[in-house]
Structure 1
Amino acid sequence: MLDWNDLRYLLSVVRQGSTLAAARALGVNQSTVHRRIAELERQMGLRLVHRHPTGYRLTEMGEQLLPALADVEESIAKLQRTVLGMKHDLTGTVRLTCPEPVLSRIVASGFVDRFHDRYSGLRIDFIISDRYFDLANGDADVAFRSGEASDERLVGRKIAESTWAVYASRDYVKRRGHPHSIEDLLQHDLIGFDGVMENHRATQWLASTLPGARVAARNNSVLGVVAAVKSGLGIAPLPTPIGDAEGELIQVLPPVQALARAWHLLCHPDQRATPRISAFIDFVIEELPALRKVLGG
């Protein structure tokens, strides 16, 4: 069976006048253009181009096929317009759950506005918490979640890296000094996590790495810990996108490998084919470069 992408390479060479210009137009290497046209000829069993030092020229058979190739291109373009029209007809709500600390960064990145511009009939309804909502039970439709994707009832994909480093306020460092190793943290006051965060990897890391450390305060949310660190009360591990964005904080120790995890986009498999959820997931995949900056720094 013919691959439409191979047809597209041949049409681009005809329209652009050379394989180099076609490669630039398609955003690929010139060698890719050569290879894909050769593969098209192999699949068809026909010689479509003459190869000259000055460039490619269509053979007689290539010229005869050109109108049919243009028809295929128009048919695919029509299909794409139809699909886009169906997407614009979508209505409803996508319930997205994510940790509280990343909400402002997601909104500030323009992700929400771009989604609403693309799908005027859809709206993102945020369900915000540092705890995990049960997607299998319908607590939310989709999730941005960091950590191990351990719930076998869900499907998804990795979308970014989650990194944590150790932070203190500038005032704290001025008063108490700058720790230079994890062991140095035993001489400092720490801010810990409790409540819904008591089983978080940051809590487990503090307990296993620094047993007996002085904990000056505990909080049940990342933003609460950020506030405590900013006040100068103590030192704590924090997500680097959040810690680095706070001008009052400094990274006193570099990212901790033991705290590194991945961000995942997750949903229940029964929801994956739902048009509004499918549209959201497709949009997230398009937005991955921007989301990686938002979630991973």
Structure 2
Amino acid sequence: MGPTSGISQPDNAVDAAATAIASMFTAITLGERVDVPWAIYASHSFVKRHGSPSSPDGINRFSVVELVDQIQALPAARWIKMHAPTARVAVRCSNIPSVHLAIKSGAGIAPLPAAYAAADDDLVCVLGRFLN
């Protein structure tokens, strides 16, 4: 596997996220409320090495990717902080593509928009979807 072998892989996820975000902005522009489903994701390799939480309270036993700066006010960021206040923070990310790549690399578990994560076969939903 060469140094650029993974560079094009996130494009599908980025395209899916861009499409989902464009749809949300269209709905917002038209004055509609938009509920975006999110869930907690990990990479398959992370789950193979560490397992996965069986409930929200179990997140504290796992390394997490913390959502910071512009995205720390998102309901999903607040949700994971509320349910995993003592979890080990493996990395902090300030945008969704960075969170995606951190999860994909096996750094830890974190919330992602379901439409965004669905485009990446390397990710697995470890805790069911919830709405923001």
TM over 0.5: yes
Match of 1:104 in 2: 15
Identity %: 29
Amino acid at match of 2:75: R
Match of 1:166 in 2: 40
Match of 1:188 in 2: 62
Amino acid at match of 1:104: D
Query: 1:203 Cα shift?
Result: 1.9
Amino acid at match of 2:123: L
Q: Map 1:73-84; keep pairs closer than 5 Å.
A: none
Question: What TM-score, normalized to structure 1?
Answer: 0.36
**Residues 55 and 127 in structure 2, CA contact (< 8 A), matched pair in contact too:** yes
**Residues 192 and 203 in structure 1, CA contact (< 8 A), matched pair in contact too:** yes
- CA distance 1:162–1:195, shift in 2 (3 Å): same
Q: Number of residues paired by the alignment?
A: 119
**Residues 66 and 89 in structure 2, CA contact (< 8 A), matched pair in contact too:** yes
- CA distance 1:103–1:190, shift in 2 (3 Å): closer
Structure-2 separation of matches of 1:243 and 1:216: 20
SS class of match (1:254): strand
SS class of match (2:58): helix
Structure 2 spans left out of the alignment, 5+ residues: 1-11
Deviations 1:141-193 (A, max 9, x none): xx7189xx7xxxxx732275310011000000010012211111111000011
Larger Rg: 1
Question: What TM-score, normalized to structure 2?
Answer: 0.76
Deviations 1:60-117 (A, max 9, x none): xxxxxxxxxxxxxxxxxxxxxxxxxxxxxxxxxxxxxxxxx986237779xxxxxxxx
**Residues 165 and 254 in structure 1, CA contact (< 8 A), matched pair in contact too:** yes
**Of Structure 1 and Structure 2, which has the larger fraction of its residues in helix?**
1
**Residues 244 and 251 in structure 1, CA contact (< 8 A), matched pair in contact too:** no
Q: Map 1:136-155; keep pairs closer than 5 Å.
A: 144=25
Query: 1:215 Cα shift?
Result: 1.1
Amino acid at match of 2:63: D
Aligned to 2:82, which of 186, 193, 208? 208
Which of structures 1 and 2 has the larger relative contact order (alpha carbons within 8 angstroms, sep 6+)?
2
Query: 1:247 Cα shift?
Result: 0.6
The alignment's C-alpha RMSD in Å is 2.9
